[in-house]
Copies of this chain bind each other. A is one copy, B any other.
Amino acid sequence: MTHPIVAELGQMLPEGGLVTDPDRLAPRLLDARKRMQGQALCMALPGSTAEAAAIIARCRAHGVAVVPQGGNTSLVGGATPMRPDSVLLTSDRLNRIRQIDPVGYTATVEAGCILDDIRTAADQAGRLFPLWLGASGSARLGGLIGTNAGGLQVQRYGNTRDLVLGIEAVLPDGQVFNGLRALRKRNAGYDLKQLFIGAEGTLGFVTAATLRLFPAERGEATALVALPDVDAVLALFTAARESVGEVLTAFEMIDRHALALMARHYPVVPQPFAEIPPCSVLIALTGSESDTVLNERLAALLLDHGLEDAALAQDGKQTQALWRLRELIPSAQTKEGPSIKHDLALPISAIADFMAESTALLAARLPAAKPVVFGHVGDGNLHYNLSLPASEDFAAAEALANRLLFDLVAQYGGDISAEHGIGRLRIAAADAWHDPVERALMQQLKQLFDPAGLFNPGVLVADAKAPRTPPTSGD
């Protein structure tokens, strides 16, 4: 017995607009970290905003859940349908670049466009779309907006929120919110588009956005710098902002354990230091100046700061090699064995103290776990991952690690997620660690937009009516 919504959508949608074949559905029902096996009645693929609105209106009429999905790259299960009566709503066919405006420095793009394709289209118009992250080849714009994606160039260009000027979305009741503006400045009402950014598809289905573009970069300079400790990392960050702030594009910390994992699992990627330093920083300058000028400015920064142990990339190949040292860390950690992943947000000036205290705490309470810490220190965002021997009880270790780290991060004024989001994986943790006034407001907003609770249920916002549960191993 198939649900009547399936036949109805089949009649309504054109060829290619509906998938029911279990083999084609399967990869879209398993989350990217392979921790959650979802289920759905079917997958609907609207080809236009009007089709998306019609699908959503029908699902609402049937009381069927709608789960938006982009490139299925969520690390927190934010796009995996779990209720059997779900329609998976994907943006695959909403893949048009509607307009590139090189004078206004904007691009209007549909939600199903893959990030690399948006970057390429901007580049062909002599412009830069600066969002750049590990999943650039598969993440789609709708998902990037839903998670307010960050990535590797936030220091210079901001998060996705900072890059979105306008949004078009279908609301849970099937109405179209037309906020597709190309305005750099507007002060004429509540900025409603902000609600859809970082909402993980719980308030509506984003169909298109108008994005900010930037001038194409003419030059770059990249270095990996060896530093004795996290205090030295922060001192260099402060100096870098002062001396080259406007061309400082990336400032990525890599700890000793991360480079050690790279040496073990990716010996082919050259490491510039004779001995692995306690901390390294990958620092990148880009901008309208030439490679030569930027290299001189970077060298002057390091010299003024008394830093001699640094590898400055001499050409594009060396630049790529330095970036590979940073980008392959998650993969090296996967090769090493099980790991507990965290994506912590911290005030930048608290990072050194937090690192010292958390390292001591974990050594005392969870000695089997080895912290491998890297990430966007210039954005106050640490990927604080714990490698665990296969013999350990993963669920118990994860529950303990979460409790220890989330308590500590809260003490330092941080938060449990900087860029990965809450999804399903962290929903109980968010519910437990967040302020009750804020939690209540979130639930009321959710209720306002989606009174039937049919839009990505079980993601981001804990059900107001359900009893509050303490966070368990899944958090």
Residues in chain A within 8 A of chain B (CB atoms): 101-106, 126, 147-148, 150, 154, 158-159, 161-162, 171, 175-179, 181-192, 194-195, 197-199, 203, 214-216, 234, 237-238, 241-247, 287-288, 345-350, 376, 379-381, 413-422, 426, 430, 434-435, 437-438, 441-442, 444-445, 448, 460-461
Using Cβ atoms and an 8 Å threshold, which residues of chain B touch A162? Answer: 158, 162
Q: How far is the CB of A135 from chain B (nearest CB, A)?
A: 15
Using Cβ atoms and an 8 Å threshold, which residues of chain B touch A237? Answer: 103
Looking at A158, A246, A376, the one whose CB has the most chain B CB atoms below 10 A away is A246
Using Cβ atoms and an 8 Å threshold, which residues of chain B touch A102? Answer: 238
- Is the Cβ of A185 less than 8 Å from the Cβ of B245? no
Alpha-carbon distance between A85 and B421 when the two chains are bound, in angstroms? 45
Alpha-carbon distance between A438 and B193 when the two chains are bound, in angstroms? 10
Using Cβ atoms and an 8 Å threshold, which residues of chain B touch A420? Answer: 187
Contact flag A101-B349 (CB < 8 Å), given A182-B413, A241-B215, A246-B247: yes
Q: How far is the CB of A310 from chain B (nearest CB, A)?
A: 20
Report the nearest B residue to A439, measured CB to CB. B189
- Is the Cβ of B448 less than 8 Å from the Cβ of A444? yes
- Is the Cβ of B215 less than 8 Å from the Cβ of A178? no
- Is the Cβ of A419 less than 8 Å from the Cβ of B185? yes
Alpha-carbon distance between A236 and B430 when the two chains are bound, in angstroms? 48
Could you say which of B178, B238, B381 contacts A103, with CB atoms under 8 Å apart? B238
Q: How far is the CB of A301 from chain B (nearest CB, A)?
A: 10
Q: Besides the contacts A159-B185, A190-B203, what 14 more A-B pairs have beta carbons closer than 8 Å?
A: A105-B241, A150-B185, A158-B162, A178-B435, A181-B415, A183-B346, A184-B380, A186-B345, A188-B416, A188-B426, A190-B442, A190-B460, A191-B197, A246-B287
Alpha-carbon distance between A348 and B348 when the two chains are bound, in angstroms? 35
- Is the Cβ of B346 less than 8 Å from the Cβ of A417? no
Alpha-carbon distance between A376 and B185 when the two chains are bound, in angstroms? 10
Alpha-carbon distance between A415 and B181 when the two chains are bound, in angstroms? 9
Alpha-carbon distance between A203 and B445 when the two chains are bound, in angstroms? 13
Using Cβ atoms and an 8 Å threshold, which residues of chain B touch A101? Answer: 347, 349
Using Cβ atoms and an 8 Å threshold, which residues of chain B touch A421? Answer: 187-188
Q: How far is the CB of A253 from chain B (nearest CB, A)?
A: 14
Q: How far is the CB of A353 from chain B (nearest CB, A)?
A: 11
Report the nearest B residue to A101, measured CB to CB. B349
Using Cβ atoms and an 8 Å threshold, which residues of chain B touch A215? Answer: 241-242, 245
Report the nearest B residue to A244, measured CB to CB. B288
Using Cβ atoms and an 8 Å threshold, which residues of chain B touch A422? Answer: 187-189
Alpha-carbon distance between A101 and B376 when the two chains are bound, in angstroms? 19
Q: How far is the CB of A297 from chain B (nearest CB, A)?
A: 9
For this complex, 9 residue pairs linking A to B, each with C-beta atoms less than 8 Å apart, are A103-B234, A103-B238, A185-B381, A188-B416, A188-B421, A190-B441, A190-B442, A194-B194, A215-B245
- Is the Cβ of A189 less than 8 Å from the Cβ of B438? yes
Using Cβ atoms and an 8 Å threshold, which residues of chain B touch A184? Answer: 154, 348, 379-381
Using Cβ atoms and an 8 Å threshold, which residues of chain B touch A147? Answer: 187
Q: How far is the CB of A472 from chain B (nearest CB, A)?
A: 18
Alpha-carbon distance between A376 and B191 when the two chains are bound, in angstroms? 21
Contact flag A245-B438 (CB < 8 Å), given A104-B349, A190-B195, A347-B182: no
Report the nearest B residue to A343, measured CB to CB. B187
- Is the Cβ of A148 less than 8 Å from the Cβ of B381? no
